[in-house]
Each structure stands twice: as structure tokens, then as C-alpha cells.
């Protein structure tokens, strides 16, 4: 009886112990320290985010001051001079009007116009 139990335990250990041991990996990916890479330092990132916010505000102000343009459902995103307009406007003419107004803002390098005609939620 003891031999049977010992055999079962050995087989169980061999079956599950080896599988569990095989599942343990010695692989560990290299951890990169982003703080040491160029462009990842905190003051630089803060300055870039502040510049992006400032440009978004300039574009938003230009859109708001454009006569005949309803920007209540328009979102402005800016990143390194590239501006994205997203959301809805009441008609097709306002899509082109919004794009022209955004391109006229100083600091805007390009405009990606993702505006669609219609009303929000429809």
C-alpha cells in the first residue's frame, strides 16, 4: 500500500511539478528608464503639453469668433502644431469654414478635419 501511495505521489509530482516548473519563466523584458531617454524628461513634456493646450485654446478662440460657425459640438486637439477637429456641425459649409479658420491660426502646421454634418446624438 505504501508503495502504491509513493508511486502515485511520484507520478503526480512528475506530472504537475514538471509542468509547474516549465511554466515558470526566467524571461524578463528589459526595463527601459524613460527618464534617461531624450524627450522623456518631465520639464520638456510639461512644456510640450502646455504648448499643445495653448494652441488648442487659440484654435478654439478662432473658431468661436468665426461668424456663422456653430462650435458647440466641436472638439479641438493639438499636438506639435497638428490640429484635429472632431465633432459635429449643423451643415457641410461649416466644415470648410471651421477648417479655414483653424488653418489661419499662428502655430498650426496642419489640420485634420474629422467634422461631420448633423447634430450631436443624431
In order along its 122 residues, the chain shows pLDDT tens digits of 778 887 777 777 666 765 555 555 566 556 665 555 665 568 889 999 999 999 999 999 999 999 999 999 999 999 999 999 999 999 999 999 999 999 999 999 999 999 999 876 65
Report the alpha-carbon distance of residue 68 to residue 101 in Å, rounded.
12
**Domain hosting residue 79, numbered range:** 39-117
Alpha carbon dihedral 113, 59, 105, 86, in 10-degree steps, equals: 0
Q: Say which residue the cell 524627450 belongs to.
A: 39
User: CB burial class (10 A; 0-12, 13-18, 19+) of residue 111?
Assistant: buried
Q: In this structure, is residue 21 part of a structural domain?
A: no
Q: In this structure, is residue 71 part of a structural domain?
A: yes
Q: In this structure, is residue 105 part of a structural domain?
A: yes
- What pLDDT is stored for residue 33 in this prediction? 57
DSSP 26-81: ---PPPP-GGGSTT--HHHHHHHHHHHHHHHHHHHHHHHHSTT---TTEEEEEETT
Q: In this structure, is residue 90 part of a structural domain?
A: yes
Q: How many domains does the chain have?
A: 1
Q: In this structure, is residue 15 part of a structural domain?
A: no
Report the alpha-carbon distance of residue 109 to residue 24 in Å, rounded.
51
Q: In this structure, is residue 23 part of a structural domain?
A: no
Q: In this structure, is residue 58 part of a structural domain?
A: yes
- What pLDDT is stored for residue 58 in this prediction? 96
Q: In this structure, is residue 18 part of a structural domain?
A: no
Q: What is the CATH number of the domain that holds 85?
A: 3.30.1340.30
- What pLDDT is stored for residue 106 in this prediction? 95
0.85 surpassed by pTM: no
Q: What is the largest CA-CA distance in the chain?
A: 94
Amino acid at each position: 500500500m505504501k508503495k502504491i501511495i509513493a508511486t502515485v505521489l511520484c507520478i503526480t509530482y512528475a506530472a504537475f511539478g514538471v509542468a509547474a516548473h516549465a511554466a515558470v519563466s526566467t524571461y524578463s523584458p528589459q526595463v527601459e528608464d524613460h527618464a534617461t531617454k531624450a524627450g522623456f524628461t518631465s520639464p520638456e513634456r510639461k512644456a510640450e503639453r502646455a504648448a499643445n493646450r495653448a494652441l488648442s485654446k487659440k484654435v478654439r478662440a478662432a473658431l468661436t469668433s468665426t461668424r456663422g460657425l456653430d462650435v458647440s459640438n466641436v472638439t479641438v486637439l493639438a499636438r506639435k502644431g497638428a490640429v484635429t477637429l472632431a465633432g459635429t456641425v449643423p451643415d457641410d459649409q461649416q466644415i470648410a469654414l471651421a477648417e479655414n479658420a483653424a488653418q489661419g491660426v499662428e502655430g498650426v502646421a496642419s489640420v485634420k478635419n474629422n467634422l461631420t454634418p448633423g447634430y450631436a446624438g443624431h
